[in-house]
Structure 1
Amino acid sequence: MPRISERTVAEHRARQLRTLLDAARALVAEEGIEALSLASLARRVGLSRPSLYEYFRSKDDLVAAIVEEELPRWASLVEAALTGPPDLVGKVEAYIRVQLDVMTDGRHAAAVALVEHALAEPARERIRDGHAQLLGPLVAAFAAAGAAEPELRAALVQGIVDAAADLAQRTPGRGEAIIAAALAQAVHGLGPAAAAESAAGSGQGQGAG
């Protein structure tokens, strides 16, 4: 058992948990999702497997903990982004931009990748509950604007965000074009404005490459 250096056992456990989660994120970033296991994490931090089981009961429990730790900061960024724009279109655009910024940011890369990893249902339920926090400000924006079925509309916007983030990660250098197309699709649908904005975004992406 590692020596307790903090004033209380609770403080020691909290510090150790942060260390373990940081090490797990680094492991995923350096070696990929498949490299993450309780055994590999134990080796990385110099703990025995029994000591690690005091914090995580399984790999699924570890994955859920990594994602859950990111969600409060993520949610605060989303909420802050939506407080600025006065109109619904501006709020939807702000939501898409901040979500894509977060989902393509290296700090969150492990959490984003792990969300897509095959997990048992209890762990997936924990992650779904946390993601509902992210949709809250957008649902509220739709409701305040009098839009029908605000929860459904927010979920559909999130679907565009998820698809855009996946494309951005698989096609480096096209980030701005993908964001422009996602914004156009979410805000203008298939109207002329969408075509114009998507074309402009594609030009930016080609220039950046």
Structure 2
Amino acid sequence: MPRIQAATLAEHREAQRRALLDAARAILVADPARPPTLTEVAARAGLARPSIYQYFSSRDQLLAELLADTFPQWARRVSERMAAASDPVEQVLEYVRTNLELVASGEHAMARVLTTIIDDDIAAYSRELHDELHTPLIDALETAGAPDPVATAGLIDGIVYAASRMLESGQNADRTVAAATELVGPYLAALSPGADGSR
């Protein structure tokens, strides 16, 4: 029997763990109101139920790790889209668009449910990660010439939050994203001269 190299075994275990997290995420996105059982997660990942205990000792541990996995991915997606934008004004608009696209995909509803069913330490961690999303937004607003980038970031988040609630109530995603960017756009356009941060 050929020997399994440690790196290969580690990669295999990580792939299995990732498959289980992805399976749990897919189930929760489809029905955020009902956290999945370990049996459901294992079945969706194509594993026997006892196998899941090699990776997670309980459903609570699985859900806690899913939450800890979800927010960094969300933050990375937003940061990457902002970094690819051509100027700070477009970066702010990408912040709005990308957050709302992720809400429309079901990720936000899933994450919000997770924060209500797991312990306070993980919920606090999720809030810290959420706060980290403000850093690139504030930076972009400062570069664009906003006189109070922190306060403006809070107002933009208020628009994103209101639009998120609309999406979760069933509003059309394209129209909702367009409406949110149309609210933010005129303010950004009024910043002068805008792109280089000079006034």
Same fold (TM over 0.5): yes
SS in 2 for 1:154: helix
Q: Relative to 1, partners in 2 of residues 1:100 and 1:6: Cα closer, same or farther, differing over 3 Å?
A: farther
Q: Which residue of 2 aligns with 1:46?
A: 48
Q: Which residue of 2 aligns with 1:24?
A: 24
Q: Does 1:69 align with 2:65?
A: no
Structure 1, 61-70 or 134-143: larger mean CA deviation: 61-70
Q: Which residue of 2 aligns with 1:159?
A: 158
**Shift of the alpha carbon at 1:53?**
4.7
Deviations 1:126-182 (A, max 9, x none): 22233234332112112334545534432432232232123123224x223222321
Relative contact order (alpha carbons < 8 A, sep ≥ 6): 1 or 2 greater?
Answer: 2
Structure 1: 5+ residue runs without aligned partners?
A: 194-209
Q: Relative to 1, partners in 2 of residues 1:162 and 1:57: Cα closer, same or farther, differing over 3 Å?
A: farther
The whole-number CA distance in structure 1 between the counterparts of 2:143 and 2:130 is 21
**Shift of the alpha carbon at 1:18?**
0.7
Q: Relative to 1, partners in 2 of residues 1:131 and 1:57: Cα closer, same or farther, differing over 3 Å?
A: farther
Q: Which residue of 2 aligns with 1:103?
A: 103
Contact 2:100 2:163 in 1 (8 A): yes
**Shift of the alpha carbon at 1:20?**
0.7
Calculate percent identity across the aligned residue pairs. Answer: 30
Structure 1, 25-34 or 95-104: larger mean CA deviation: 25-34
Structure 1, 11-20 or 67-76: larger mean CA deviation: 67-76
Q: Does 1:182 align with 2:183?
A: no
Contact 1:24 1:36 in 2 (8 A): yes
Contact 1:64 1:126 in 2 (8 A): no
Q: How many residues align?
A: 178
Q: Which residue of 2 aligns with 1:126?
A: 125
Q: Relative to 1, partners in 2 of residues 1:17 and 1:81: Cα closer, same or farther, differing over 3 Å?
A: same
Structure 2: 5+ residue runs without aligned partners?
A: 191-199
Q: Which residue of 2 aligns with 1:10?
A: 10
Q: Relative to 1, partners in 2 of residues 1:62 and 1:128: Cα closer, same or farther, differing over 3 Å?
A: farther
Q: TM-score, normalised by structure 1?
A: 0.67
RMSD: 3.2
Q: Which residue of 1 aligns with 2:135?
A: 136
